[in-house]
């Protein structure tokens, strides 16, 4: 777990958050789904506790529900997720954090591409997977990065477009043919 986090959380939120975290592990699917929806409506104050839950989850069900709750929060979760992916090397944490980023979609595209400048190959792979999950909305920002000054970002943009197959490959080929 990350020891020094700067998440904003009020004492009133803490009790509600603790209950909702417990509900993510409830036997009832409807209780779990309601907890995910409740976290989404809480917004930013829930991001930190959910990331900590994702870090400490002992099973994939728990990780899945935490990731879905994070993704429901949206743009406010992008920077904290990416920050934690840089320091948290656990593969399962990164896999589910990337899934959450991919589900967040458009607000995550540019920050994900920027984070690909990392020397951490595993993280870049998960981030590429997140962009593939986002799909078509990520194609144009990736095309723009084919000429990036950073070699790693250029390479990641190329490989991600390639991985996107029919969604990204034709746009990449067209761009390269135009440059001739």
Per-residue pLDDT of 13-22, as tens digits, reads 789 999 999 9
pTM equals 0.88
DSSP labels, the chain: --S-------HHHHHHHHHHHHHTT-S-HHHHHHHHHHHHHH-GGGHHHHHHHHHH-SSHHHHHHHHHHHHHHGGGGHHHHHHHHHH---HHHHHHHHHHHHHH-GGGHHHHHHHTTSS-HHHHHHHHHHHHHH-HHHHHHHHHGGG-SSHHHHHHHHHHHHHTGGGTHHHHHHHHHHH-
pLDDT at site 39: 96
Which residues does the chain have with pLDDT short of 50?
A: 1-7, 9
Q: Under a CB-based contact definition with an 8 Å cutoff, are residues 70 and 103 in contact?
A: no
| Domains of the chain with CATH codes | 1-104 (1.25.10), 106-180 (1.25.10)
């Amino acid at each position: 777990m990350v020891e020094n986090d700067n998440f904003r959380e009020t004492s009133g939120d803490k009790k509600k958050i603790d209950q909702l975290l417990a509900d993510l592990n409830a036997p009832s699917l409807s209780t779990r789904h309601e907890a995910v929806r409740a976290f989404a409506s809480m917004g930013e104050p829930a991001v930190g506790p959910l990331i900590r839950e994702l870090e400490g989850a002992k099973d994939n069900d728990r990780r899945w529900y935490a990731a879905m709750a994070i993704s429901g929060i949206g743009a406010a979760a992008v920077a904290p997720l990416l920050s934690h992916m840089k320091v948290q090397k656990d593969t399962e944490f990164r896999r589910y954090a990337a899934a959450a980023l991919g589900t967040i979609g458009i607000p995550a595209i540019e920050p994900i591409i920027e984070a690909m400048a990392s020397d951490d190959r595993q993280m870049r792979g998960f981030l590429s997977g997140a962009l593939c999950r986002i799909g078509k909305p990520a194609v144009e920002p990736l095309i723009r990065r084919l000429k990036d000054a950073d070699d790693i970002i250029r390479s990641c943009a190329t490989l991600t477009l390639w991985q996107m197959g029919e969604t990204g490959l034709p746009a990449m080929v067209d761009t390269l043919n135009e440059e001739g």
